[in-house]
Structure 1
Amino acid sequence: RLVIYPNGDNNNGKEGDYISVKLAMVDTSSMPKNWEVNAIVNIFLYNHISGNYIYSPGRARPFQITQSEWGFSKFISKKSMFDPSNGYLMNDSCVFGAEVFVVKREAVTECLSLNSVHPPPSYKHDCKISNFKKLEGRWESEEFSAGGHKWYVCVHPKGNKEATGKAVSIYLHYLGSNVSTHFGRVKTSFTISVINHGYCAHKKRTTTCSFSASWASLGWDSFIDLATINDPKQGFLVRDCIRVSVEISFLNSALTFNSSWI
């Protein structure tokens, strides 16, 4: 069912700034234990003036017993919604719609492995990026293995999202298990470094993340300023090449066994 919060769902900033619209699963009594439904949700709002719809394209979301509602906290501002010249309200009425694509429905069972006695194992991988100043868009490393899982590093030399034109963006991507076709859930602590070839320190950033099929990428939009990395005196860029190193420590992992029931 479609759930509309006219005054917001309390997750969108100031009270009443936005209208929240979400899709909720109902009548899940027939679902198997530990059920999960992965679905792509698109929400629509009809424009009475143009005769068209505005929509917020969604991405795959895992509907579960603990999270059976997904959508958009900031679907549209109340200011835009209530402005009669925009055409969303007609005679104090509006028309919302939803489009749902079910990707897969499955029961989920996990086998958790904890590293509580010995220090967590650590793996390191180095990447050399040539012709750095000439690169456009994104650069991806070759796939590599660490801790029985597959990974790759993604670099945006000119920046990504709000960092475009300001900083280099770097992310670590999870591709799943080496030994199983099932995606696991892997809790890691990882450090990404841009190597300094001079006398200055490497540029390092560290974070912790539980990677999974629904959370397969994490990193930094603003990893290092473009002005810094392109300055030859700083020691990061040598002969138009940089080196990026990633070190991954595994805190625990859970193999997810999916029992499809479509």
Structure 2
Amino acid sequence: MGNSSSRGRSKQGQRSGSKVTPSSPTGEQSKQATFKWSIDGFSSLLDKGEGWTYSRVFEAMGHNWYLKLNPRDKKSGSNKEYVSIRLELASRSVKPDTVVDASFKLMIYDQSFGKHSEHEVSHRFQTASTSSGASCMISCRKLKKRPSKFLDNNCCVFGVEFVKVTTSKANMTLETLFVKKTSIFNEAGTYTWDIEDFFALKNPGYSPEFQVGAYKWYITMYPSRDGNHLSLYLKLKKTTNLSKDTAYLVELTLSIKDQETGKHKKLTGRCQFAKDCRTWGWSKFITLEDFKDSANGYLVKTKCCIAAEVTIIGSSKME
């Protein structure tokens, strides 16, 4: 899936803003560019369990990036839980045959003693590999341990410090993402798209519009670029009511229903929708072979059923 704000914190969860420092002059490529992502209400994110949460897209060193965070990650063969972060280069920031070599530090900030958890990475980003792969991990136990101040007043601060990339533009952005408890957040809805004739769909196929919160959404579906998979996305309808500096954190589940046994194919993620980033989903949601296999119940004759569960669980603002 693809896509931020510094906010003053309070126990009541009041919003605050993000802070952007001016970018470095052209030619000063050696200057670091730093993006900080402060998550207020972090315990609410921990309660949601394993799964990736995405920051806003931010610009640094002439490219668009985002951080992704898993609050309950696990190493292979271990049940120990970690908080991990990774850096990804936004796919639209990479032109075909373009390679971006980047050196950077992934950070989990100790807000009291300055003993940050750091992981230095050098990675070659390109169209086929937009994720850094390597992640900065800290055990959930260490995160909560006192007197360490990784988790301070229910707030965690993550970030990336760029050392060098192939471009020259640099800036610093600070985001605070405030996550609200679902029980006190009423902007949720489920929409079911019943398709009578899958083979009559246009490419891409669009569902009717539906509303969750103050905005309208729709589902898009089409064969993936490799021709072997089905792509499935949720899209925010273009609107003039959404500020370019505001984004909403959405917990999203897309499903293709098994009409025979109820063993639906579903994927879940937490991602931010904004005016300049209105689409999130999966380019390889399911193989076309599995989708069309009548034994799986996803496509019965010409009929299929797609469902979207959408819950707005937070918001962010850039300044």
TM-score (norm 2): 0.43
2:305 to 239, 243, 246: 243
Q: 1:140 pairs with 186, 202, 206, which one?
A: 206
| Cα pair distance change 1:26/1:150, threshold 3 Å | farther
Supply the distance in 2 between the matched residues of 1:111 and 1:223 (Cα, whole angstroms). 30
* Matching residue within 225, 228, 250 for 1:188: 250
Contiguous gaps of at least 5 residues in structure 2: 1-22, 27-56, 64-92, 101-174
Whichever residue aligns with residue 25 of structure 2, its letter is V
Counterpart selection for 1:207 from 263, 266, 269: 269
CA distance in 2, matches of 1:221, 1:117: 28
Secondary structure of residue in 2 paired with 1:191 = strand
1:225 aligned to 287, 290, 298, which one? 287
Amino acid corresponding to residue 190 of structure 1 in structure 2: L
Q: What is the aligned-residue identity percentage?
A: 21
Deviation at 1:187, TM superposition (A): 0.4
CA shift for structure 1 position 254:
3.9
Q: 1:161 aligns with which of 225, 235, 243?
A: 225
Larger radius of gyration: 1
1:69 and 2:62 aligned:
yes
Cα 1:199–1:187 change in 2 (3 A) is: same
Between 1 and 2, higher relative CO (CA 8 Å, sep ≥ 6) is seen in: 2
Give the partner amino acid of 2:183. H
Shift of 1:26: 3.2
Whole-angstrom CA distance in 2 between matches of 1:112 and 1:138: 32
**Higher deviation after alignment, 248-257 or 231-240:** 248-257
| CA distance 1:203–1:115, shift in 2 (3 Å) | same
- 1:172 equivalent to 2:234? Answer yes
Contact 1:62-1:214 at 8 Å conserved across structures: no
Partners in 1 of 2:275 and 2:262 — Cα distance?
Answer: 38
Name the count of aligned residue pairs: 163
Shift of 1:245: 0.3
Aligned in 2, Cα 1:176/1:115: closer, same or farther, shift over 3 Å? farther
TM-score computed with the length of structure 1 as normaliser: 0.52
Cα gap change, 1:25 to 1:138, in 2 (>3 Å): farther
Aligned residues of 1:182 and 1:255 also touching (Cα < 8 A): no
Amino acid at match of 1:75: T
Deviation of 1:214 after TM superposition, in Å, equals 2.6
SS in structure 1 opposite 2:295? helix
What's the CA shift string for 1:10-63, capped at 9, x where partnerless? xxxxxxxxxxxxxx8738xxxxxxxxxxxxxxxxxxxxxxxxxxxxxxxxx975
Tell me the equivalent position of 2:217: 151
Find the residue that maps to 1:123 and give its secondary structure: strand
Judging changes above 3 Å, is the alpha-carbon distance between structure 1 residues 240 and 72 closer, same or farther for their aligned structure 2 residues?
closer
RMSD (CA atoms) = 3.5
**How far apart in 2 are the matches of 1:127 and 1:117?**
24
